[in-house]
Amino acid sequence: MSTYRAVHVVSKGKLELAQKPLLDPPAGHVRIRVEACGVCHSDAITVDGLLPIQYPRVPGHEAVGKIDVIGPGVEGWHVGQRVGVGFLGGSCGYCEYCRDGDLVNCTNQAFTGVQHDGGYAEVMIAKARGLMSVPDELSSVDAAPLLCAGITTFSALRNSPARAGDLVAIFGVGGLGHLGVQYARHMGFEVVAIDRGADRAELAKKLGAHHYIDGSTTDVAKALEALGGASVVVATASGGKAVAAALSGLRRGGVVISLGATDEPIELSAFELLFKGLGVEGALTGTPSAGDATLKFSALSDVAAMVETMPLERAAEAYARMMSGQARFRMVLTMV
């Protein structure tokens, strides 16, 4: 087999199925036979050209597959091992942030599917530093969405100041939020799910929420205050207004963690920040080690994304369905 199938972006908004030549991985990299790849909203960076992109480019940063070739200088991985590749393509190991242990903010780290080809393909080459180990208990389809949506919500909650028994709110029961509710419940928090519409209440309870707040009919901040105030609000919805709305619902010393990427400004009350000791943070995915922990925790706790699958050749359709908000809740491409 000298070629493989891939769906690449040839120009802004245009995805095409193509045959690409099979190459050996360079030093420090491995070649992976992809089995499944999630379709994430962040793929818009490549598909819609939100960052400078050298086309053609294969998107996809929720890829799971088996290593079939190991490049020179790679240690700790073996042929046949099932691995995952997330948004962060692998740290450099020598920049200021890497030397301080902050691998997420490595200044020389490329993004998977942005600066180099990603997982909308039967084969991909990935930097060994960015690989995550996939437990046998998780299928490749189930593991794929956990490499971005999963690790983002899991890391935000695990690294938050909340402790077991604290009130934690998940703002938005969607692609990230439906995983966030599950993680929060299994971490031992008292979980509040917040969304718009009564139709999400039953789903939120099934996912593990103890309480549901309908933001379309209820003042979110007052509802949280009535429950005693949240130690942490994880805002998965894209929008500064959602973050601001949650701020008054925090207890003293509480924090809002924003996961939704948006240009919308966040309007905050300096009075509340000062006199209640509140905080607002952002969280971007996690280290490979955090990815390992996300996958292991998910397997142990039976946390799973709600997914719809489509074959690789229907990637454009899957992407359009995801972007339109019709997917419930994650789209995953399969390569077989």
- pLDDT tens figures, 271-300: 888 989 999 998 889 999 999 999 999 999
Q: Which two tokens stand for residue 74?
A: 């790679």
Closest-CA residue to 245 (of 196, 177, 201): 196
Torsion of CA 253, 259, 260, 261, to 10 degrees: 110
Q: Which two tokens stand for residue 59?
A: 């998107």
Q: Let me know whether 41 and 122 are in one domain.
A: yes
With contact defined as beta carbons under 8 Å apart, do 44 and 95 qualify? no
- Count other C-beta atoms under 10 Å from residue 99's C-beta: 11
Q: Let me know whether 165 and 274 are in one domain.
A: yes
Q: Let me know whether 209 and 231 are in one domain.
A: yes
Last residue of a domain, one of 264, 282, 300: 282
DSSP 265: P
Peptide bond between residue 111 and the one before it cis (omega within 30 degrees of 0): no
Q: Let me know whether 211 and 300 are in one domain.
A: no
Q: Let me know whether 74 and 181 are in one domain.
A: no
With contact defined as beta carbons under 8 Å apart, do 162 and 182 qualify? no
Q: What whole-number distance in Å separates Cα of residue 117 and Cα of residue 262?
A: 25
Q: What whole-number distance in Å separates Cα of residue 166 and Cα of residue 79?
A: 44
CA angle in degrees (0–180, nearest 5) for 293-150-163:
65
Rg (CA), the chain: 20
- Count other C-beta atoms under 10 Å from residue 305's C-beta: 23
**Structural domain total, the chain:** 2
- Count other C-beta atoms under 10 Å from residue 202's C-beta: 10
Q: Residue 47 — φ and ψ, nearest 5°? A: -65, -40
Report H helices in the chain: 44-47, 96-99, 140-143, 149-158, 177-186, 199-207, 220-226, 240-247, 270-276, 288-301, 315-323
Closest-CA residue to 69 (of 144, 130, 126): 126
Q: Let me know whether 12 and 91 are in one domain.
A: yes
Q: Let me know whether 106 and 141 are in one domain.
A: yes
Last residue of a domain, one of 258, 282, 306: 282
* CATH, residue 163: 3.40.50.720
DSSP 3-state assignment of 220? helix
With contact defined as beta carbons under 8 Å apart, do 223 and 202 qualify? no
Q: Let me know whether 227 and 261 are in one domain.
A: yes
DSSP 122: S
For 74-126, how does the pLDDT look when each residue is reduced to its tens digit (9 = 90+)? 999 999 999 999 999 999 999 999 999 999 999 999 999 999 999 999 999 99
Provide CB contacts within 8 A for 196, sequence distance 6+: 214, 215, 216
* CATH, residue 13: 3.90.180.10
CA dist list (Å): 152 to 2, 21, 267, 273, 321 = 36, 33, 24, 25, 22
Domain containing 183 equals 151-282
Q: Let me know whether 163 and 227 are in one domain.
A: yes
Q: Let me know whether 250 and 265 are in one domain.
A: yes
Where does residue 194 rank: exposed (0-12), middle (13-18), buried (19+ CB within 10 A)?
Answer: buried
Q: What whole-number distance in Å separates Cα of residue 284 and Cα of residue 61?
A: 14
| Residue-by-residue pLDDT tens, the chain, 336 positions | 799 999 999 999 999 999 999 999 999 999 999 999 999 999 999 999 999 999 999 999 999 999 999 999 999 999 999 999 999 999 999 999 999 999 999 999 999 999 999 999 999 999 999 999 999 999 999 999 999 999 999 999 999 999 999 999 999 999 999 999 999 999 999 999 999 999 899 999 999 999 999 999 999 999 999 999 999 999 997 677 777 878 889 999 999 999 977 778 888 888 888 989 999 998 889 999 999 999 999 999 999 999 999 999 999 999 999 999 999 899 999 997
Q: Let me know whether 172 and 276 are in one domain.
A: yes
Q: Let me know whether 8 and 139 are in one domain.
A: yes
With contact defined as beta carbons under 8 Å apart, do 279 and 254 qualify? yes
